[in-house]
Structure 1
Amino acid sequence: MSITPETLEAEFSLPTAATRLDFLSRRDSGDTALNTVHDADEDDWSSLKTIDTSLDTYEALELLALGEVVSRKAHDSQLIGIRAALRGGADWEQIGTALGTSPDTAYDSFQEAVSRQLDADAAAAARELAGTRPAR
């Protein structure tokens, strides 16, 4: 079975994809706390053993695809956040600052997301909420 962002996108929500991505990343990072086991038969520190937790090929490909899934889902959730900010009274200067970009870029990104993610009626309402392009 091929691992693609599309197959994983249907399986994972943003929080579950991020959790799985974090788990796989930590497991493959060489973190000694995660890569150490304790032999229950002995009570001294000499019983601690480092184990190999390198990801197999499937898990490595899953890690890669999950990174893309998280990126896509986080980007798509930007539309929700911008609409909430606009409804709360934020202006494009504030939204741009929150996104680490200019007001123009934030506005353009919002317009693209509206076109890509919403049906005609919802898009019209979102564009009305957005108002006009911010002054430069």
Structure 2
Amino acid sequence: MSTPDDLEGQFTLLTAVARYDALRTRDALAAPLDEDDAATASPDPDEVPLTRSEALEMLALGEVIARKAAYGRQLSVRSARQARASWSQIGAALGTSKQAAWEAHNRWIDEQAQQPDNPGHWGWDEDDVTAARMLAGEPNEEERA
């Protein structure tokens, strides 16, 4: 069975989305089979329902995509801060409050600080975490323009 942890290292965001889209499209196009239809099922592979393994892979890929997109979002937040965006501006771009955006980013920094403890992940050292926290600043600081 495919799990997000198994698949995360095998796929980039782009390849995970492509595989998910292929499975999702096939799932949407396939006519459900009942026992009477099994003998006369279409040989077209695009119309064959997903196997249990493929359906579980599609679910796991959805989680991989969510994880990779969330990581990419926080990299974009960091880039916005480097470009002198305020937390109000970042919150607006994310469709949330400045406080929620700041809190999510700080949780992400905390996660990066923990990654060296997880095999297969790089994570950040103490200097990286300190630099990230300095860049993040506080949500109530004056607008950066």
Q: TM-score range by the shorter chain?
A: 0.7 to 0.9
User: Are 2:3 and 1:8 aligned?
Assistant: no
Counterpart position of 2:127: 121
- Normalising by structure 2, what TM-score? 0.75
The structure that is strand-richer by fraction is 1
> Structure 1 segments of 4 or more deviating over 3 A?
none
Mapped to 1, the partners of 2:131 and 2:75 lie a distance apart of 13
Question: Would the alpha carbon gap of residues 100 and 31 (structure 1) be closer, same or farther in structure 2, given more than 3 Å must change?
Answer: farther
Mapped to 2, the partners of 1:134 and 1:22 lie a distance apart of 41
**Residue 102 of structure 2 is aligned with which of 90, 100, 107?**
107
Mapped to 2, the partners of 1:64 and 1:104 lie a distance apart of 31
Contact 2:91/2:98, CA 8 A, preserved across alignment: yes
Q: Secondary structure at the match of 1:16?
A: helix
Gaps of 5+ in 1: 33-48
Cα-to-partner distance string for 1:20-72 (whole Å, 9 max, x where unaligned): 1111111111279xxxxxxxxxxxxxxxx884321111111100000011011
Counterpart position of 1:77: 72
Q: CA deviation at 1:78?
A: 1.8
Gaps of 5+ in 2: 32-41, 113-123
Q: Which amino acid counterpart does residue 9 of structure 1 have in structure 2?
A: E
Q: Secondary structure at the match of 1:11?
A: coil
Q: Secondary structure at the match of 1:29?
A: helix
**Residue 96 of structure 1 is aligned with which of 91, 97, 103?**
91
Contact 1:92/1:103, CA 8 A, preserved across alignment: yes
CA-atom RMSD in angstroms: 1.9
Mapped to 1, the partners of 2:93 and 2:101 lie a distance apart of 9
